């Protein structure tokens, strides 16, 4: 356990998906395949040395565990993104990248007998985990359908456009792909262009309340179950989530992936927050009793005492430090890696949790 282990993976190919985004595929040596087993929707942690600093960032896998595809991520260059700029500009085929095995919690249960309507809402590089989910659903669940609403600036900035089109062509009856372009290059002629080329089908504008109303009303579910998945910039995700809830969709049917570190907080020890506590911890079949000082998170206390607990980002993003709260109360700074239902069910992130009671009991399971 402890901090995720990194492996140097050779880069098999580089492909520019848009002027600002690069798709990277890796060779995965046979002996690493068990460690890199993954579910659709998970991400990799990439470690890069940029100007002498060792930096880590999370990127969602775009390949599907149901298909024989190479491991792949697509990285959009962010305006001040040191790692994303490095990955977009400095890599060559044959270089190696240090990568930790997949993790993450944005993983709908995909299985052959499901009959589900999947509504996917993506903007920009938020398409990356959703592409893996889309491919897996279409490959594994013959009775399910996928409705994707994907927002970008214009036709040239649609990440993974070719691959999405290929999947649309292969599954015209089970995949509906609609684009939302805020500044389409063919604005005046877009409908004609659409009719003529059928390359871009959708609406002008952003994924806002009006578009969501239109989309949900126009494409009602045709299956007994529905699943709603959202990934994109924080503002789009929050407004999309609020809209779905107002539309009457249950919290348990919505999953969100905060792929950006905008939401990341690594809590500093602060003795004015929380309280001291005794934590009984069950970890890997062993029991520990740990004393927490006021203001420490559970993970900080475990690290201080050299308990080998799982963690990675320490910022509430990756979900690696998930645990079950069996007794007592904690307060989380925030929990982007958990949905509200999981929190209600007693899951916590140890890197974000400070005690609110003097006795706490938690169980950590291997994920």
Q: Which is closer to ligand FES, CB of 59 or CB of 311? A: 311
- Select the span of 30-38, 124-132, 252-260, 312-320 touching ligand FES (CB under 6 A): 312-320
Q: Cα–Cα distances in Å, from 116 out to 62, 109, 216, 341?
A: 21, 11, 15, 20
Three-state DSSP class for residue 241: helix
Residue 104 within binding range of ligand FES, rule CB under 6 A: no
Residue 349 within binding range of ligand FES, rule CB under 6 A: yes
- Contacting ligand FES (CB under 6 A), which of 60, 312, 339, 353? 312
> Residue 318 in contact with residue 58, Cβ under 8 Å?
yes
Residue 330 within binding range of ligand FES, rule CB under 6 A: no
- Contacting ligand FES (CB under 6 A), which of 119, 121, 150, 311? 311
The two structure tokens encoding residue 271: 């003795």
Residue 351 within binding range of ligand FES, rule CB under 6 A: yes
- Contacting ligand FES (CB under 6 A), which of 62, 132, 320, 342? 320
Q: Which is closer to ligand FES, CB of 116 or CB of 351? A: 351
Cα dihedral 306→307→312→316 (10° resolution):
-110
> Residue 52 in contact with residue 65, Cβ under 8 Å?
no
Q: Which is closer to ligand FES, CB of 265 or CB of 294? A: 265
Q: Which residues, 6 or more positions from 263, have their beta carbon under 8 angstroms from its beta carbon?
A: 234, 316, 317, 334, 336
Q: Which is closer to ligand FES, CB of 6 or CB of 186? A: 6
Give the Cα separation of 229 and 240 in Å (integer): 10
Q: Which is closer to ligand FES, CB of 101 or CB of 151? A: 101
Q: Which residues, 6 or more positions from 229, have their beta carbon under 8 angstroms from its beta carbon?
A: 41, 106, 108, 118, 119, 120, 121, 130, 133, 254, 255, 256, 257
Q: Which residues, 6 or more positions from 225, have their beta carbon under 8 angstroms from its beta carbon?
A: 114, 115, 116, 117
Residue 316 within binding range of ligand FES, rule CB under 6 A: yes
Residue 321 within binding range of ligand FES, rule CB under 6 A: yes
Residue 106 within binding range of ligand FES, rule CB under 6 A: no
**Smallest distance from the beta carbon of 360 to ligand FES, in angstroms?**
17
Q: Enumerate binding residues for ligand FES (CB under 6 A).
A: 311-314, 316-321, 337, 349, 351
């Amino acid at each position: 356990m402890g901090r995720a282990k990194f492996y140097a993976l050779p880069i098999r190919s580089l492909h520019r998906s848009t002027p600002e985004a690069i798709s990277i595929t890796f060779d995965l040596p046979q002996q690493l395949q068990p460690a890199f087993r993954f579910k659709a929707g998970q991400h990799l942690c990439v470690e890069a040395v940029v100007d002498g600093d060792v930096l880590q960032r999370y990127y969602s896998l775009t390949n599907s565990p149901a298909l024989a595809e190479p491991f792949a991520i697509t990285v959009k260059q962010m305006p001040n993104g040191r790692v994303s700029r490095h990955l977009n500009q400095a890599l060559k085929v044959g270089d190696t990248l240090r990568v930790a095995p997949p993790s993450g919690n944005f993983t709908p249960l995909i299985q052959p007998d499901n009959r589900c309507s999947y509504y996917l809402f993506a903007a920009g590089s938020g398409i990356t985990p959703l592409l893996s989910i889309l491919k897996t659903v279409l490959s594994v669940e013959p009775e399910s359908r996928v409705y994707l609403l994907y927002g970008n600036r214009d036709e040239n900035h649609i990440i993974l456009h070719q691959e999405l089109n290929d999947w649309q062509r292969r599954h015209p009856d089970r995949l509906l792909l609609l684009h939302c372009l805020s500044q389409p290059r063919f604005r005046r002629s877009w409908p004609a262009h659409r009719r003529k080329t059928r390359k871009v089908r959708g609406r002008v504008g952003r994924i806002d309340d009006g578009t969501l109303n239109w989309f949900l009303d126009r494409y009602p579910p045709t299956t007994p179950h529905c699943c709603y998945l959202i990934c994109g910039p924080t503002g789009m995700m929050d407004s999309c989530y609020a809209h779905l809830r107002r539309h009457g969709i249950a919290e348990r049917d919505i999953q969100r992936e905060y792929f950006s570190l905008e939401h990341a907080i690594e809590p500093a020890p602060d003795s004015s927050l929380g309280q001291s506590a005794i934590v009984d911890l069950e970890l890997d079949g062993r029991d520990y009793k740990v004393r927490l000082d006021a203001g420490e998170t559970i993970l900080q206390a475990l690290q201080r005492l050299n308990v080998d607990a799982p963690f990675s980002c320490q910022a509430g993003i990756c979900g690696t430090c998930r645990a079950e709260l069996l007794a007592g109360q904690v307060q989380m700074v925030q929990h982007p890696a958990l949905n509200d239902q999981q929190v209600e069910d007693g899951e916590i992130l140890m890197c974000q949790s400070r005690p609110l009671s003097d006795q706490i009991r938690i169980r950590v399971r291997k994920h």
